[in-house]
A and B are shown apart, each in its own frame.
Chain A
């Protein structure tokens, strides 16, 4: 039966080429936009190298201080992390690092814009960088403030023409570092993984940061399993309840969370006032945006489908007269529409691969590689099937309610 439906569907598609073209254009264009959006979100949120273990990782990236007149949210300071994040139970490993700060370096008379992040040794254990040459620095390097650095292959290309960088010296931020490792470039959207040069925290120029509650730092903790997240968060909350305010006149409430990458974005976008269900709010916003965008293409497809179905009124009339139920007919037309959208989906998929590579080439998002993997392909198939069902059901329902007598005469919807 299904084979029969599909055969009919393909026949119908070939009959009115203009209509087929309109439908396919609409479907594939809609899917290109949705797929590009999904691929970008996937690029930001899914665990991938060097953050492949991030489904086990929680991060502290913001601290909110609130008082009677004034509130602010910034990055936590070294002191805050040392005092309230270090040594949580149920945590397998913990790392602290500065935000990656944009810097300029001058190399052999050239100006090079780059990013520097200072980290501890544990950073290299929690993140899984694939070293192209050399290796990471250790906690020992950090404690002894050894002037060593890890750079990306992009930096190696810019600085040393792609030749081996091990043991070479780079001058950055008024300091000289010996390169001990090279890793592949990381997308700038990666909040923790991104930088172009990494150096030990110990090489910071002063020790001022050690007592700061707010500043330019961040921390991640690696849990044994995501099931431990709740316990870790509870303990962190208890610790924060004993937060010592340096300036109790202006600030008397502190807020910081151990966030997954998605929660962090939700926190930054929506703010702290939506305790707890912030993630739901962001998800709802994303779904709503997608729905809004799909409205027009769906309506377009529905009206085209309605027109097409009218052409087949007499066919429907015959089938109804011979006893086909409404459900059977609806089923048939939904299958036909899904076939159509899947064809459109295939075209859309090819186009979105092209669009994504164009986006990557334009370097709108520095160092990001928008690869189209199986997961994204799955999303694409799912999206186009859903689109097909939504836009197929209404016309099919309208048609199935047609009176056989009317339908046989070439009926009126």
Chain B
């Protein structure tokens, strides 16, 4: 049966080539849309590794040339601002970050460690950061005063980074980075920290300490405050006035992290959702087009079908033949499409999606395309099965 169908398909190879190519491209589109959707949905439900409620972000505007150390007077001013904030009854904790969660700035780097290239996100933070963001320390400890006298620069990794770099989570005291000037040592591991929140891709996070005396670490320009729950929004002008008094030359912008989150996620997801909608429309268009083409094919093959009916084929048999032909075309396209999609892991797609999402998306795309092509064939095949042999044979 299949071999016979193959012959039929081959005999009309030119017309079929176009259909196969169409299904092939649709398959790639469906795969992209579904894998994206699975990634988003699974990503949305994973723990963030921090808590954004009741956190305010005070962005300070100051500039000093990159690579240059923060001037001592600026360090002193920022330290005084932190003290001032901590002294307010509404503030539960305060800390510094360079690239806070849900902000659009990111510091990314690739290091060759133990012979492996690992891509990491960095954030320069101070001792108070963990308490503000409620990071969960899994092993070791967070930065503290005891690092002041240490001969090394401390770093804290999240669990993903520890596993990616050292292949285990037992990493306390191991060397992170070494050059002629200093050594970086791991002092703690925290739960996976998803900097971009629900929109994060799988990523390795590394926290570097900002030394209070400015001897290492780049001074971040975000002061993060954790407020006591229920603090009214009109505390904001008071806060800014207090900070402005400590640092008259500085400009501020205060944002609540839940608003930053909404803004960030909207910006991140709008293009993805837009792409998904466009993809859906494309598929709808192809589905309609395929139905039309199959319909036309059936009409053109009326006499062939009539002959089969006259020779005793049942309506169901004819119907099955048409549907199987469509499924065969789909299979050819899907084999070609799979051959391409299965190359993606080699090209490093797993930095963007998890293997689980990849597999789910792939399987779902296969099922969707089969289902769609069969649906396209249903009406034309029904038409074909209803043909009266006598009429069909006389059809001109």
Partner of A205, one of B234, B249, B254, B285: B249
B240–A104 CB distance below 8 A? yes
A residues 1-47 touching B (CB-CB < 8 Å): 18-19, 21-22, 25-26, 29, 33
Bound Cα distance from A26 to B26, whole angstroms = 14
Kindly state whether residue B311 has any CB partner on chain A within 8 Å.
Answer: no
Of chain A, the residue at the smallest CB distance from B288 is A22
Tell me how far the C-beta of A321 lies from the nearest C-beta in chain B, rounded to whole angstroms: 18
User: Chain B residues with Cβ under 8 A from A33's Cβ?
Assistant: 278, 281
Kindly state whether residue A264 has any CB partner on chain B within 8 Å.
Answer: no
Bound Cα distance from A173 to B67, whole angstroms = 28
Question: 0/1 per residue, B15-51, Cβ < 8 Å to A?
Answer: 1001101100110010000000000000000000000
B282–A173 CB distance below 8 A? no
Kindly state whether residue A286 has any CB partner on chain B within 8 Å.
Answer: no
Bound Cα distance from A299 to B233, whole angstroms = 56
Tell me how far the C-beta of A148 lies from the nearest C-beta in chain B, rounded to whole angstroms: 18
Bound Cα distance from A70 to B18, whole angstroms = 51
**Pair count A-B, CB < 8 A:** 113
Bound Cα distance from A335 to B39, whole angstroms = 46
Tell me how far the C-beta of B110 lies from the nearest C-beta in chain A, rounded to whole angstroms: 14
A72–B281 CB distance below 8 A? no
Kindly state whether residue A168 has any CB partner on chain B within 8 Å.
Answer: no
B240–A101 CB distance below 8 A? no
Kindly state whether residue A121 has any CB partner on chain B within 8 Å.
Answer: no
A303–B19 CB distance below 8 A? yes
Kindly state whether residue A296 has any CB partner on chain B within 8 Å.
Answer: yes
Of chain B, the residue at the smallest CB distance from A172 is B251
B interface secondary structure, majority = helix
Partner of A300, one of B15, B254, B289, B296: B289
Partner of A104, one of B29, B63, B252, B296: B252
B236–A214 CB distance below 8 A? no
User: Chain A residues with Cβ under 8 A from B181's Cβ?
Assistant: none
Partner of A299, one of B22, B29, B236, B240: B22
Bin chain B's interface residue count: 35 or more
A310–B282 CB distance below 8 A? no
Kindly state whether residue A206 has any CB partner on chain B within 8 Å.
Answer: yes
Check A299/B292 contact, CB under 8 A, given A104-B253, A205-B248.
no
Partner of B296, one of A101, A205, A293, A307: A307
A18–B240 CB distance below 8 A? no
16 contacting pairs across A/B (C-beta < 8 A): A113-B255, A205-B249, A213-B65, A246-B65, A295-B25, A296-B25, A299-B21, A299-B22, A300-B286, A303-B18, A304-B293, A306-B15, A306-B293, A308-B296, A413-B14, A413-B15
Top 3 A-B residue pairs of the complex, sorted by shortest distance between their CB atoms: A307-B296, A300-B289, A106-B237
A300–B251 CB distance below 8 A? no
Question: 0/1 per residue, A213-244, Cβ < 8 Å to B?
Answer: 11110000000000000000000000000000
Bound Cα distance from A113 to B57, whole angstroms = 14
In the complex, which of the residues A22, A74, A206, A293 has the most CB atoms of chain B within 10 Å of its own CB atom?
A: A22
Bound Cα distance from A18 to B383, whole angstroms = 15
B residues 155-209 touching A (CB-CB < 8 Å): none
A205–B270 CB distance below 8 A? no
User: Chain B residues with Cβ under 8 A from A179's Cβ?
Assistant: none
Question: 0/1 per residue, B294-320, Cβ < 8 Å to A?
Answer: 011100100000000000000000000
Partner of B254, one of A72, A104, A410: A104
Bin chain A's interface residue count: 35 or more
Bound Cα distance from A250 to B68, whole angstroms = 11
Of chain B, the residue at the smallest CB distance from A295 is B25
Bound Cα distance from A79 to B237, whole angstroms = 34
Check A299/B281 contact, CB under 8 A, given A101-B61, A307-B293, A413-B15.
no
Check A212/B63 contact, CB under 8 A, given A102-B253, A304-B292.
yes
Bound Cα distance from A185 to B333, whole angstroms = 51
Bound Cα distance from A306 to B16, whole angstroms = 12
A residues 284-319 touching B (CB-CB < 8 Å): 293, 295-297, 299-304, 306-308, 310-311
Tell me how far the C-beta of B289 lies from the nearest C-beta in chain A, rounded to whole angstroms: 4
Of chain B, the residue at the smallest CB distance from A174 is B244
User: Chain B residues with Cβ under 8 A from A295's Cβ?
Assistant: 25
Tell me how far the C-beta of B221 lies from the nearest C-beta in chain A, rounded to whole angstroms: 12
Kindly state whether residue B396 has any CB partner on chain A within 8 Å.
Answer: yes
Check A304/B289 contact, CB under 8 A, given A104-B253, A212-B63, A299-B22.
yes
Partner of B292, one of A19, A111, A297: A19
User: Chain A residues with Cβ under 8 A from B65's Cβ?
Assistant: 212-214, 246-247
Bound Cα distance from A206 to B255, whole angstroms = 24
Kindly state whether residue A364 has any CB partner on chain B within 8 Å.
Answer: yes
Of chain B, the residue at the smallest CB distance from A209 is B63
